[in-house]
């Protein structure tokens, strides 16, 4: 059985590269997670998980992360990505949402907040707080944007 993470942080970054993969790598590096092995997870924040502004993790670690990303090769295009964490009023699990698209940062933040509210209504959970991390990028050549909720032990 795998251990359950007890910490989480939100992060986001953007980058440019000659290829989609190197642009994505640059966005990961900008977000501070470029030297980690992200293991993509879905959308549940474990119970009793505490928020940290920054978590120190050794390079090469396998890190559970809920994330969204977007890459574009259209110079001048605006791309954005956001993650949000809904924290319940009661002592139970929370919900994580990820979203990306060709929107302004303001628009994507609005959309992702609405997604968290809907997810809590579906689960009949009382919502205490929403934490959002979003980023917008104007593509120069080949650009990428990344946002993630890093879970740790």
- Point out the residues that are catalytic: 37, 42-43, 98
Query: Are 68 and 99 spatial neighbours (Cβ–Cβ below 8 Å)?
Result: yes
Q: Which residue has the tokens 């919502």?
A: 127
Burial class, 114, CB count within 10 angstroms (exposed 0-12 / middle 13-18 / buried 19+) = middle
Pair of tokens at residue 74: 């259209």
**Reduced 3-state DSSP string for 65-86:** EEEEEEEECCCCCEEEEEEEEE
């Amino acid at each position: 059985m795998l251990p359950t993470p007890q910490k989480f942080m939100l992060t986001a970054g953007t980058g440019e590269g000659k290829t989609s993969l190197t642009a994505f790598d640059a966005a990961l590096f900008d977000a501070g997670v470029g030297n980690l092995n992200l293991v993509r997870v879905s959308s549940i924040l474990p119970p009793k998980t505490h928020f940290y502004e920054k978590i120190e993790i050794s390079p090469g670690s396998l890190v559970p992360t809920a994330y969204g990303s977007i890459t574009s090769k259209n110079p001048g295009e605006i791309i954005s990505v956001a993650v949000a964490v809904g924290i319940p009023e009661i002592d139970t699990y929370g919900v994580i949402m990820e979203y990306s698209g060709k929107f302004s940062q303001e628009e994507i933040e609005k959309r992702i907040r609405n997604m968290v509210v809907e997810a809590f209504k579906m689960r009949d959970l009382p919502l205490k707080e929403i934490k959002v991390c979003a980023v917008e990028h104007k593509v120069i050549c080949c650009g990428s944007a990344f946002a993630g909720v890093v879970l740790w032990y």
